Amino acid sequence: MRALHGAVCESDEPAVLIAHSAGCITTAVWAANHVGPVRAALLVTPPYVDGAEPDDPSDIPWVVPRRRLPFRTVLVASRTDPYTSLAQFERFAEDWGAELVDAGDVGHLDTASGFGPWPEGERLVSELG
């Protein structure tokens, strides 16, 4: 969280945050506790971790904020993500005030799911900037 805060605050230009998986949860927790120059965020396949305590509680913030993020947010969901159901993605989007983008059957949208370059992600980022 300290690294994210430092990176956001080191520039005078508002940041566009891009996060995947647990990085999405880190972004939501950071936004609930800090103010910084952020224009928007692209959150890709956040895992559903409510009620699940990690082996080492310092690994990830497992109490996920359930309030609107203070910047425009796009959340990318997968219908076949092993860590989150579509209904859970929909709840994250509603709680965070995010636009929900249904990417279809893309697993966790990572290299293990067969992804490399992701032109749709690049398009989404360009629309946030």
- The domain defined by 2-128 folds into Rossmann fold (3.40.50)
Give bridge partners of residue 41 from the DSSP assignment: 17, 73
pLDDT at 103: 96
Q: How far, in Å, CA of 86 to CA of 95, rounded?
A: 14
pLDDT at 62: 56
Domain boundary assignment for the chain: 2-128
pLDDT at 7: 86
**Pair 70, 42: CB distance under 8 Å:** no
Separation in Å, CA 38 to CA 59, 69, 88, 89, 121: 24, 10, 25, 22, 19
**Within a 10 A sphere around the Cβ of 55, how many other Cβ atoms?**
5
Per residue of the chain (129 residues), give pLDDT as tens.
788 888 888 888 899 999 999 999 999 999 988 878 999 999 999 999 865 555 555 555 457 888 999 999 999 999 999 999 999 999 999 999 999 999 999 999 999 998 998 999 999 999 998
> Phi/psi of residue 9, each to 5°?
-85, -10
pLDDT at 85: 95
pLDDT at 52: 54
Q: How far, in Å, CA of 93 to CA of 78, rounded?
A: 13
